[in-house]
A and B are shown apart, each in its own frame.
Chain A
Amino acid sequence: MTQTISKSGLSDLRSKDEIRAERRKGRTGIYLVAPGLLVLALFFALPVVVLLAMSLYVKPPGAEIGEFVPGFEIGNYMTVLSAYWPELLRSFWFALIATVLALLIGFPMAYLVAVRLREKPLLQGILLVLLIAPFFSSFILRTQAWKQILADEGFIAQALKFVAILPADGHLTATPFAVVAGLTYNFLPFMVLPIYANLGRLDTRLLEAAGDLYASPMNSFFRITLPMSAPGIFAGTLLTFIPAAGDYVNSALLGNNRNTTMIGQVIDSRFFKVIDYPGAAALSFVLMVSILVLVTIYIRRFGTKELM
């Protein structure tokens, strides 16, 4: 009895205005999220559905070029996978190497700026700008520049030939080396910035404490700095690996050779050269699903709570 009274009494305590305000608050949230949801639905969910449908289309007998009708041809996947699995594997392989290289190069950079230069804000600021500076120029132009840097008559190729690392008739452009170098360079900022943001919060007193307890610098790095920067490394590797696997500007400009073809190039050529829309759609879908699977495994294995 008392309970019911108090319950109804409680609800009576809230004025109508308050209830209305509460409702409005709930609605405001929906309004704020709506544009984002709409954009996602229109530019992600819908295209994915269309892509999936397209990948199952069939070519009717006697069809003109570019003519396909709705169907359910799972065989499209078999056809493109059996023809292009090497390119698919190569894309992930190149992306993996580029990610590891970017981590090895990027971590010390991030550490220097975020931790070592904490006492020198001016220098820190300058270096940070230098890190971000590549973002200011076009991705394509930067890749184009690499082509010049690695050209046969360029300094690097000549120097490598001089020390006999590269045979006299060897070259750097149109090789896997050039493509991986381009990928590493182009996605380096995506690796450095998350790690930098993470290391910026690193409490150096922990390192001092470790030193007081006779931990070697090596030891305190592996026991303190590295574990604490794990979320940054995690984000950085994802931000590097995912776009690198799907990238094809680097492989087209710096590679463009049979042993450098990445899956993006194949999709482009299926679409525009052969006018095989279902094949291109099937490959795009396979790429998307493979990345999703790889990333899920990675998150399950190494994901940290802070990211989830």
Chain B
Amino acid sequence: MTRQRAINNQRRRLLQGIEQAQASRRSVLAGAAGLALAGLLSACGTKGTSSGNAAALAPATDLSDSEAVVNWANWTLYLDYDEKAKNYPTLQRFMKESGLKAKYAEDIDSNDSYYGKVQAQLAAGQDIGQDLMVFSDWMTERIIRQGYAQELDHNNIPNIKNLLPALQEVRFDPGRKKSLTWQSGYTGLVWNKEAFPKGLRNVEDLWDPELKGRIFMLDEMRDTMPMLMLDDGVDIAGSWGQVEFGRSLEVLDRNIRNGQIRQVKGNAYKQDLISGDAIAGLAYSGDITQLNFEEGGKWEFALPESGGLLWSDNFQVPMGSPHKKNAERLMDFYYQPDVAAEVAAYVNYLCPVLGAQEEMEKFDPELVEDPLIFPTEEFLSNTSSERELSVEEETDFQNQFQEVIGV
């Protein structure tokens, strides 16, 4: 098992390098294509959507009974992969058991860019070619608000009973009618134990002169800004506004300006941690578990005393998908504890399935006690999530954030 993991991890690293590099170029191409498409659509008089004026979209006719396929778009490196067989073991098992053909695409490398890619089609209620897509909480919230997601039939997902109690009621989707958790994770602090033995206890410890030019922030506004606001003592789930946001933005601005923060970037921060260009910063829990496994446990991940973020990525069935029932069968499959454990052993993120911890014994006993995969009360009590942002705030805050980070 461990050997297999090592091989998998090698592939993972290689892929990540290429992935990050390609992401930039790919997004340019996608952008060009998307721009042309969006323009054409509008030129032809296709309406943009709006929760205000557009007629509610209707779900596509479900052809699941006649078409035995399900298409699933997910983030890169987010499903167990067998290097030798060149396939996804759990997905193979799903296909064998269900008789469905599952097409898996590692299409998503950022909430924003995938949304940008499919938004025009979603808005028109067209089939985006995927029956399942996976977005983070805040984007899931937006998709639900815009009416782009189909309602799930829980009768087809009996294993939904295994969903962690904490995730059964979420703000943006009461009763989990239009989304279901795929994996969860924390946003917290990371530092190199050898280069910075002092360690970090709070976000403000990152402004230590010793770390000048060697720290990074995350380029997802929804990670960096709530973390800074928590550090400022703001209740991010409460009623904060421009004043609180602006105060934290100033902290960010000052530290970019004086060279304390070297870069603001996405998952590519892992490379900088490995090369030593970065010693500390904000990071995602699963990334650091993987990194420690690959590079020999040099890094420590912790939630700041002021609190870290708990987020989830969620399954959703787009309105235009003609295979909702098949999609529900796939979700049901992944909510079996043994399947969930197998996935968790590979992806190293928080597992949302009850009973998976017991099953994990079989795959990787050392992971059973890992609070980054199976959360403890202590860990959970120190996390929060930000309140819902209005449409105007989303655009406005994003704008301000981009201006400060310089892109």
Q: Tell me the A residues contacting B by CB distance below 8 Å.
A: 46-47, 50-51, 53-54, 57, 60, 62-70, 83, 139-141, 143-144, 147-148, 151-153, 169, 171, 173-174, 248-249, 252-253, 256-259, 261, 264-269, 271-277, 280-281, 284
Binary contact track B367-407/A, C-beta < 8 Å → 1, others 0:
00000000000000000000000010011001100110111
Q: How far is the CA of A34 from the CA of B50 in the complex (A)?
A: 42
Q: Which residues of B9-40 have CB atoms within 8 Å of chain A's CB atoms?
A: 17-18, 21-22, 24-25, 27-28, 31-32, 34-36, 38-40
**Least Cβ distance of B164 to chain A in Å?**
30
Contacts of B48 in A (CB 8 A): 63-64, 66-69
The reply to whether B406 and A258 form a contact with Cβ atoms under 8 Å apart is yes
The A-B contact count (CB < 8 A) is 152
For A171, the chain B residues whose CB sits under 8 A away are 213, 262, 277
Evaluate contact between A264 and B277: CB separation under 8 angstroms.
Answer: no
Which listed residue, B21, B263, B275, touches A153 by the CB 8 Å rule? B275
Interface centre among B39, B40, B391, by most A CB within 10 Å? Answer: B39
A68 CB to closest chain B CB (Å) equals 6
Which residues from B are CB-within-8-Å of A64?
A: 48-52, 146, 391
The reply to whether B115 and A275 contact each other, CB–CB distance below 8 Å, is yes
Q: Are B25 and A272 in contact (CB under 8 A)?
A: no
6 contacts between A and B (CB under 8 A): A63-B391, A70-B43, A140-B18, A256-B265, A256-B407, A258-B405
- The interface of chain B, by Cβ under 8 A from chain A, is 17-18, 21-22, 24-25, 27-28, 31-32, 34-36, 38-40, 42-43, 48-52, 110, 112-113, 115-116, 119-120, 123, 142, 146, 212-213, 221, 256-257, 262-265, 271, 275-277, 391, 394-395, 398-399, 402-403, 405-407
Q: CB-CB < 8 A to B31: which residues of A?
A: 267-268, 271-272, 280
A83: B residues at CB distance < 8 A:
403
Q: Is the interface of B mostly helix, strand, loop or mixed?
A: helix
- Taking a contact as CB atoms under 8 Å apart, the answer to whether B35 and A280 are in contact is yes
Besides the known contacts A50-B35, A274-B399, 12 further A-B residue pairs in the complex with CB atoms under 8 A apart? A50-B40, A51-B35, A64-B48, A65-B142, A66-B120, A151-B277, A171-B262, A173-B277, A174-B263, A256-B407, A268-B28, A281-B35
The answer on a CB contact under 8 Å between B212 and A169 is yes
Across the interface, which residues of B come within 8 angstroms of A173, CB to CB? 277
Q: A69-B42, A173-B277 are in contact. Are A249 and B25 (CB under 8 A)?
A: yes
In contact, A264 and B119 (Cβ under 8 angstroms): no
Once bound together, how far apart are the Cα atoms of A3 and B115, in whole Å?
75
Q: Which chain A residues border B21 with CB–CB below 8 Å?
A: 140-141, 143-144, 253
Whether A273 touches B263, Cβ cut-off 8 Å, given contacts A66-B48, A69-B48, A258-B405, is no
Is A269 in contact with B407, judged by CB distance below 8 angstroms? yes
Give the residues in chain A near B113, CB-CB below 8 Å.
Answer: 272
Q: Are A275 and B116 in contact (CB under 8 A)?
A: yes
Which of A69, A152, A265, A274 is the one whose CB lies under 8 Å from B398? A274
* Residues on B with beta carbons closer than 8 Å to the beta carbon of A62: 50, 52
A272 touches B24 (CB 8 A): no
